[in-house]
């Protein structure tokens, strides 16, 4: 296992995870699958412990659901899964969103954090914490702004340029990552 991946897994074990609607603990570490860097989420998940959850975005959201994993699907309801709300859906979640096992959301600022809190999301993923390939050119929030936004959420996760070294001192409910969970991360 790549040392960065092992370090991030170890860091996630020290977190206090959020719970779903039935009180079951949700993962403290999430793989965010995107079309460009994680075209085959099942292959990446095969190299990760079952304790790692996955947020399926893009084409992966319409594909098969990985078995034996806690899964959130971006923007659409799938049986037995959680729902991940991109920031664009925080104002008007999809019909039937309350039937999802749990709800997570992308949160990029104070207004989105307030909306996510009102919706009762289990985890609001505050991003981008640091510079990231997912949002090239986007201004990272940095530690202080991210902490202020996270304070507005019932449970916060951090996403964007996350590595074990960079998140030292943070204790959110979860971390989300892409590169750091790949076998050969570019971080």
CATH of the domain at 44: 3.20.20.70
Which of 98-102, 169-173, 174-178 shows the lowest per-residue confidence on average (mean pLDDT)?
169-173
Q: What is the DSSP letter of 55?
A: E
**Cβ count within 10 A of residue 167:** 23
- pLDDT at residue 2 tops 90: no
* Residue 186 in domain: no
- Which pLDDT belongs to residue 187? 44
Asked, for residue 126, whether it belongs to a domain, the answer is yes
Beta strand pairing call for 156-159 and 29-33: unpaired
Structural domain that includes position 132: 3-181
CB-based contact 167:158 (threshold 8 Å): yes
pLDDT per position as a tens digit, 40-57: 899 999 999 999 999 999
User: In this structure, are strands 123-126 and 174-177 parallel, antiparallel, or unpaired?
Assistant: unpaired
């Amino acid at each position: 296992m790549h040392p960065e991946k092992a370090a991030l897994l170890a860091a996630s074990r020290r977190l206090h995870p959020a719970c779903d609607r039935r009180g079951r603990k949700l993962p403290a570490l999430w793989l965010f699958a995107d079309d460009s860097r994680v075209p085959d989420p099942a292959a990446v998940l095969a190299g990760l412990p079952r304790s790692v959850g996955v947020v399926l975005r893009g084409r992966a959201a319409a594909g098969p659901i990985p078995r034996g994993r806690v899964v959130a699907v971006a923007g659409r309801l799938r049986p037995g899964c959680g729902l991940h709300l991109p920031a664009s859906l925080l104002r008007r979640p999809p019909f039937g969103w309350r039937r999802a096992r749990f709800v997570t959301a992308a949160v990029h600022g104070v207004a989105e954090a307030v909306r996510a809190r009102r919706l009762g999301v289990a985890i609001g993923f505050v991003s981008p914490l640091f510079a990231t390939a997912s949002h090239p050119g986007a201004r990272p929030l940095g530690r202080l702004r991210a902490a202020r936004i996270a304070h507005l959420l019932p449970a916060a996760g951090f996403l964007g340029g996350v590595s074990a070294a960079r998140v030292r001192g943070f204790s959110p409910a979860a971390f989300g990552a892409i590169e750091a969970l790949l076998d050969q991360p570019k971080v």
